[in-house]
Amino acid sequence: MHRISRGSVAVIIGITGILCAAGQPAVSGRAVGEITPSFAVLDVTGPYKGKPICYVCEYKGAPSILAFFQDIGDETAGLVIKLNELAQQETRLKMVAAIIAGPERRSWLEEFAQEKGIKIPLVVFRRGKDDVAMKLYKLNAEAKNTLLVAVNRKVSANLTNVRAENFGEVVEAVSKVLGTKLR
C-alpha cells in the first residue's frame, strides 16, 4: 500500500478548500425576509446633496432597490446606468446607489451623474468601510456589489456580484415586486 505523507494530505485539503471557495457565490447583504433598518449616508447627487440622509426612511414601504458598490469604476458605472434606466420606467420604484469606499469618491460621482444624466441619488458611506452600515446590512467587503430589492421595509431579493450580463435577474426581481414586467 502506498503511504500518504501528512504534507500531501495538507496540500490536498488546501487545494480542495480553494476550489470549493472559488465555486461559492459571495454572500453579502441582508437575507430575503429581513427588515431594512435605517442607515445614514452622505448624499452626493440627490435632493439632499451635501447632507446626511436616510433614503430607506424616506422611501418607507415603497418598492425599492438599495444598491451597494464597493467602489467606483467602469463596472459600477455600467450598472448604475442600467439601474437609472430601470428607475425611469417605473415611478413607483425608488432607488439609491451607495458607494462604500467613502467621501473621497464624491467628485467622480458628481461628474459621472452630470455626464450620463443619472437621476437616481448617488451617495457615499460617511466612514467608508468602517461605516456602521457595513455591519447593519451585513455587507461583505469582498463582494463587488450587493443589490437588495425591498418592499414594505423587507428584503424581497438579494443579488450579489451582479454584472451587466446577469442584470436581467435584477429586472426580474423588481418586476415581481411591482407586478409589472419591466425591460
Partner 1 sequence: MFGWESIAACFMVVRIIALTSISGTVLGQEALPEGQSDYPRITCEELKKLIDSKATDIVIVDNQPAESFDEGHIPGAISFPWVDQIKPPVKLPRNRMLIMYCPCMEEEDSIDMANKLKQFGYSNFKMLKGGWFRWEELKYPVEKKSPDGPINRTSQQWRR
Number of residues binding to partner 1, judged by CB under 8 A: 27
Q: Which is nearer to partner 1, 53 or 143 (CB)?
A: 53
Does position 14 interact with partner 1 (CB under 8 A)? The reply is no
Smallest distance, Å, CB 21 to partner 1? 28
**Binding mask of the shown chain, residues 52 to 91, with x at each position contacting partner 1 by CB under 8 A:** xxx--xx-xxxx----------------------------
- In this structure, are residues 178 and 92 in contact, taking their beta carbons and an 8 Å threshold? yes
Secondary structure (DSSP) of 104-173: GGHHHHHHHHHHHT--SPEEE-TTGGGSHHHHHTT--TT-SEEEEEEETTEEEEEEES--GGGTHHHHHH
Does position 132 interact with partner 1 (CB under 8 A)? The reply is yes
- Taking the alpha carbons of 68, 70, 71, 77 in that order, is the dihedral positive or negative? negative
Does position 154 interact with partner 1 (CB under 8 A)? The reply is yes
User: Which residue type occupies 99?
Assistant: I
Smallest distance, Å, CB 19 to partner 1? 35
Instruction: Give the three cell numbers for residue 75.
Output: 463596472
Smallest distance, Å, CB 11 to partner 1? 41
**What is the distance between the alpha carbons of residues 74 and 14, in angstroms, rounded to a whole number?**
34
Q: Interface with partner 1 by CB under 8 A: which residues?
A: 35, 37-40, 48, 51-54, 57-58, 60-63, 92, 132, 135-136, 151-154, 177-179
